[in-house]
Amino acid sequence: MIVTLTVNPSLDRTIELDQPLRPGGVQGAVSAREDAGGKGINVARAVSSAGVDVVAVLPLAPDDPFGAVLRRSSIVARTVAVDGHVRANVTITDPSGETTKLNLPGVALSEADAAAVVTAVVKASEGARWLVLAGSLPPGVRDDFYVDVIAAVRRAHGPSAPQIAVDTSGPALATVVARARPDLIKPNDDELAELVGRPALPPGDLASTAGELGRTLVPSRVAAALVTLGSAGAVLVTPEGAWSAAPPVIRVASTVGAGDSSLAGYVLADSLGAPADERLRHAVRYGAAAASLPGTQAPSPADLPEGDVIVTRLSPA
């Protein structure tokens, strides 16, 4: 079983245009859709579509309309009652695959709300293989919130605690890497550069640079790092080595949620006991599948592209 936590969920509204976005103008839309979103929920939907047991933990007011959208996703959810309704994020896509995203800050949580979420995660993660802590932190929640979650889960479950993956950014990511030593982090290239205090990674040699920077964190700060690189694929760094993988050719519909699906693909492969190169291959295949679907749709195994995903071992720095 896999458990996810989405402490800052979102109702993802995706608007599809038939022409490039014209700021300041008036345009008609081809279509629109709504999905239950937030990084952890996106991971849970992809895991559930693969037929693997998953539980999504999230704060949610009993009268929030988001609940109806979430129920349509057919994932098992454990909610913590809070005041206020889930934020709505807006994504605009055009025929070229160009994506514009507007994210709202989310519902503020009190200290009591945050403590209740931690308790719910500890309970849900009993017997789980992976716990995925994913997404930004909402207003009112301290930067070390994920550190508290990890400590509580490991204290409660001891040697039986699940492996813990963290997919966040900024101070929340820096704090968890400095203090909690998660089993996996999943930054993108910009988030990795910020984490290690470097300028943006050069596009010409993205994979090699990501591998070098990943080695500064693995295994001293984190057990492994899966670094997503958009159209350049992804890099996996473990104590045993580093690998890069380029995605198959696809027609991009929306890149929103592609990194979340990559993480889902990784934990799914790990749950089957796959070696490092196959975990990376599965992650890239899932990310490409998500990018080929409109909106924030979670790919199922039937959506995975048929093209080859070539995995290459990176030379040590």
Q: Mark residue 275 as left, alpha or beta (left: phi above 0; alpha: psi -120 to 50; beta: remaining).
A: beta
* Residue among 180, 200, 198 nearest 190 (CA): 200
Write down the residue that tokens 């993988």 correspond to: 245
| Helical pair 258-271 and 39-49, crossing angle rounded to 10 deg | 50
User: Is residue 303 annotated as a catalytic residue, yes or no?
Assistant: no
Please report, as a single letter, which amino acid is at residue 135: G
DSSP string spanning the chain? -EEEE-SS-EEEEEEE-SS---TTS----SEEEEEEESHHHHHHHHHHHTT--EEEEEE--TT-THHHHHHHTT-EEEEE--SSPPEEEEEEE-TT--EEEE--------HHHHHHHHHHHHHHTTT-SEEEEESPPPTT--TTHHHHHHHHHHHHHGGGPPEEEEE--HHHHHHHHHHT--SEE--BHHHHHHHTT-PPPPGGGHHHHHHHHHHTTTTTT-S-EEEE-GGG-EEEEETTEEEEEPPPP---S--TTHHHHHHHHHHHHHHTT--HHHHHHHHHHHHHHHHTSSTTPPP-GGGS--S---EEEPPP-
* Residue among 138, 132, 145, 199 nearest 172 (CA): 145
From 35, 113, 260, 270, the catalytic residue:
260
**Beta partners for residue 30, in sequence order:** none
Active site residues: 260
